[in-house]
Amino acid sequence: MFFGKEVRILLKGQAKDNYLELKKRNDKESQSILNSIERIKEILKENP
């Protein structure tokens, strides 16, 4: 929440497709990229 308001992160187009594809994969590189994306999403939610 930022100043009491909910912050949403939206992916669209190719970014959304690639994100969903990464979630399906189980290799180490894909998981590392997903962890980085999730970390950045949390940072953006705290301070957009």
Supply the DSSP string of the chain, one letter for each residue.
-BTTB-------THHHHHHHHHHH--SHHHHHHHHHHHHHHHHHHH--
In this prediction, residue 1 carries a pLDDT of 64
Work out the number of other CB atoms within 10 angstroms of the CB of residue 12.
7
Tell me: pLDDT of 12 over 90. yes
What's the mean pLDDT in 24-44? 94
Q: Averaged over 8-22, what is the pLDDT?
A: 94
Domain extents in the chain: 1-48
**How many Cβ atoms sit within 10 Å of the Cβ of residue 34?**
14
